[in-house]
Amino acid sequence: MIKETNISNLSEEIVRVENLSKSYEKGKVKALKDISFSINKGELFGFIGPDGTGKTTLFRILTTLLLSDTGTATLNNLDIVKDYKKLRKILGYMPGRFSLYQDLSIEENLNFFATVFGTTIEENYDLIKDIYIQIEPFKKRLAGKLSGGMKQKLALSCALIHKPTILILDEPTTGVDAVSRKEFWEMLKRLKEKGITILVSTPYMDEASMCDRIALMQSGKILSIDTPVNTIKSFEEELYSVSSRDIYRLKNDLKEYENTSSVFLFGQNLHYTSKQENTNIDELKDYLIGNNHEEIKIEKIEPNIEDCFMRLMEN
Partner 1 sequence: MAVNTNDKIITVKNLIKKFGDFTANDNLTFDVYRGEIFGFLGANGAGKTTAMKILCGLSKPTSGEISVAGFDVYKQTEKIKKNIGYMSQKFSLYEDMTVKENIRFYAGIYGLKRSYIKEKTAELLDRLRMNDYANTLIASIPLGWKQKLAFSIAIFHNPKIVFLDEPTGGVDPITRRQFWDMIYEAAHNGITVFVTTHYMDEAEYCDRVTIMVDGRIDALDTPDNLKKEYKAENMDQVFVKLARNIE
Give the binding site for partner 1 (CB under 8 A).
29, 49-52, 147-149, 174-180, 182, 203-205, 218, 248, 264-268, 306, 309-310, 313-314
Between 118 and 267, CB nearer to partner 1: 267
CB of 93 to partner 1, least distance (A): 20
Between 177 and 193, CB nearer to partner 1: 177
* Residue 311: count of CB within 10 angstroms of its CB: 20
Between 165 and 260, CB nearer to partner 1: 260
CB of 43 to partner 1, least distance (A): 25
CB of 266 to partner 1, least distance (A): 6
CB of 306 to partner 1, least distance (A): 5
Distance CA 120, CA 87 (A): 20
CB of 241 to partner 1, least distance (A): 12
CA-based nearest residue to 309, from 48, 21, 40? 48
* Residue 134: count of CB within 10 angstroms of its CB: 16
Report the b/e string of 71-86 with b at 16+ CB within 10 A. bebbbbebebeeeeee
CB of 194 to partner 1, least distance (A): 25
Between 79 and 246, CB nearer to partner 1: 246
Between 49 and 92, CB nearer to partner 1: 49
Antiparallel, parallel or unpaired: β 260-266 and 221-226 = unpaired
Between 28 and 85, CB nearer to partner 1: 28
CB of 53 to partner 1, least distance (A): 8
Between 219 and 276, CB nearer to partner 1: 219
Between 68 and 304, CB nearer to partner 1: 304
